[in-house]
Amino acid sequence: MEDTNVDAGPPAPGRALVVFESMFGNTRIVAEAVAAGLASGTKVDLVEVGDAPAVLDPEVDVLVIGGPTHALGLSRPETRRQAAAVAPRPLVSPGRGLREWLAALDCAEARPQVAAFDTRIRHAPGSAARAIRRRVRRLGLPVVARPESFYVLGTDGPLARGEQERAERWGERVAGSVATREEGQ
């Protein structure tokens, strides 16, 4: 299980969970950068979707979900098979995807604020992040940030210049948005 705890300074109440799906490794890099940015405000657990919990812990205050854009949205078993067929190495997320995880997620006891991101080729249609946001809203969870896209230069990457740094700054902004909302309650 990939569970990376990133902790900067005294822990804030609760914690953040970053769940990602990645085929070629680009979305994992973005997820790691987002987690580093979030860590400026809270304890962060980073988990690949295959190892993500089926029941969301009530102590999770922030849930960030990210995946690659496949066929205009979230991956499906067929698009993952297609990715595996062209991959130069084993897929990072060879099993279930975010679509299946979100469909089965039990968040009855948890009410985290959610943010979504994706990786995709610039100017390509569709967005996995927008699809994630729709599914999260159906679960009744509050969305704290607009869906964000981080760009790759080709189907299997690499990330475009500056995207990793931009992902870390986005993670910092998400942490700041959550802190601001909590102060206003």
Strands 43-48 and 15-20 turn out to be parallel
Give the per-residue SS3 of 62-100.
Answer: EEEEEEECECCECCCHHHHHHHHHHCCCCCCCCCCCHHH
Identify whether the C-beta of residue 75 lies closer than 8 Å to the C-beta of residue 21.
Answer: yes
Give the pLDDT confidence score for residue 5 in this predicted structure: 43
- What's the fold here for domain 3-184? Rossmann fold (3.40.50)
In angstroms, the first-to-last Cα distance of the chain is: 35
Tell me the pLDDT of the chain (185 aa) as tens digits: 444 444 433 334 469 999 999 999 999 999 999 999 999 878 999 999 999 999 999 999 999 999 999 999 999 999 999 999 999 999 999 999 999 999 999 999 999 999 999 999 999 999 999 999 999 999 999 999 999 999 999 999 999 999 999 999 999 999 988 865 565 55
At 31, list the tokens. Answer: 């997820």
Q: Where are the domains of the chain?
A: 3-184
